[in-house]
Amino acid sequence: METQSVFVGIDISKDRLDAFVRPQGESFSIPNSDQGVGLLTERVGAFHPLVILLEATGGYETRIVAALAHAKLPVVLINPRQVRDFAKATGRLAKTDRIDAEIIAHFAEAIHPEPRLLPDEEHKELSALMSRRSQLIDMIVMEKNRLHTTTITVRSHIKSHLDWLQIQVRDVNSQIDQFIKQNPVLKRKVEIVTSVAGVGPTISRTLMAHLPELGQISNKKISALVGVAPFNSDSGGHRGKRIIWGGRNQVRSILYMGALVAVRHNPVIRKFYRRLLAAGKAKKVALTACMRKLLTILNAMVRDDSLWCAK
């Protein structure tokens, strides 16, 4: 007798965890606490699920994901937008925590999302530091914008705050660099990626923090993961423009800056960029292709543990 595959969807809120099991149709709700997470892990594990699917909820998912991963259960994180689109496509417009858990489980059963490498504790710590750095940079930009629209008295307060923010950014940068130096694996990865012209400290830090899969999955998969793989937009005889979509915005944004530098200073990327322009590609399209090429080069180098060597 063939064993039936089981799929679990978990909806996470600040105070509660709602789970739904397909195809059994069983559901249960547990407090979002240390004890509740342990109980949920035990109950979910008893079903021997093929996939346990959760939405990324801005941090509330961290504890439950860590517990499920530690229990060697097949946990997968997904962008909430994909679940919302799936709910609309299946006509599920009502919304409660239980319904959300059911829709997540249905999505898991219908799509069979592939489990991906989950960040370990070190990557989580590094990611938190990088997120804090981004927050500080955003505050600096906002304060600089306010300088042009305020009075002289307030301007002095803003300048003092800007000085403090700059000190904080330097401190966080120092903590990030020290963190990487103390980790031999991350230190070697940074050495590899920064050997490529166009990849500096900010790019390498971002890759280490937000792309732990670098060097561990195929070029095609990592391009899709970051969001630099082009998607078709064809219908019948119509051939639409290929577009990039989704992915990890932090990594994609920083790769764009890296590609801008690389088309000027990296001989391989520069040659590739000029060839695309000569073939009639728009500059934006050519630059996106350079982002993808730069990423695949870095992925292969980390995979092979080799430094940059332009041919």
Answer for the pair 41, 30: CB distance below 8 angstroms, yes or no.
no
pTM for the structure as a whole:
0.62
For residue 56, name the pLDDT band (cuts at 50, 70, 90): confident
What pLDDT, on the 0 to 100 scale, is given for residue 73? Answer: 86
155-166: average pLDDT: 94
More confident residue, 18 or 239: 18
- Kindly tell me if the per-residue pLDDT of 219 is higher than 80: yes
Write the DSSP string, 46-79. Answer: TT--SEEEEE--TTTTHHHHHHHHHTT--EEEE-
What pLDDT, on the 0 to 100 scale, is given for residue 213? Answer: 86
Answer for the pair 55, 46: CB distance below 8 angstroms, yes or no.
no
Residues 112-153 pLDDT 10s? 887 665 556 677 788 889 989 999 999 999 999 998 888 888
**Cα(186)–Cα(98) distance, integer angstroms:** 41
What pLDDT, on the 0 to 100 scale, is given for residue 277? Answer: 93
Least trusted range by pLDDT, from 96-110, 128-142, 217-231, 269-283: 217-231
Share of the chain above pLDDT 90, in %: 42
Residues 236-271 pLDDT 10s? 443 545 554 456 888 898 999 999 999 999 999 999
Exposure of 240 by Cβ count < 10 A (0-12 exposed, 13-18 middle, 19+ buried)?
exposed
What pLDDT, on the 0 to 100 scale, is given for residue 269? Answer: 93
**Cα(229)–Cα(251) distance, integer angstroms:** 13
What pLDDT, on the 0 to 100 scale, is given for residue 6? Answer: 92
**Cα(41)–Cα(32) distance, integer angstroms:** 12
Residue with the two structure tokens 């639409």: 240
Bridge partner residues of 17 (DSSP)? 12, 30
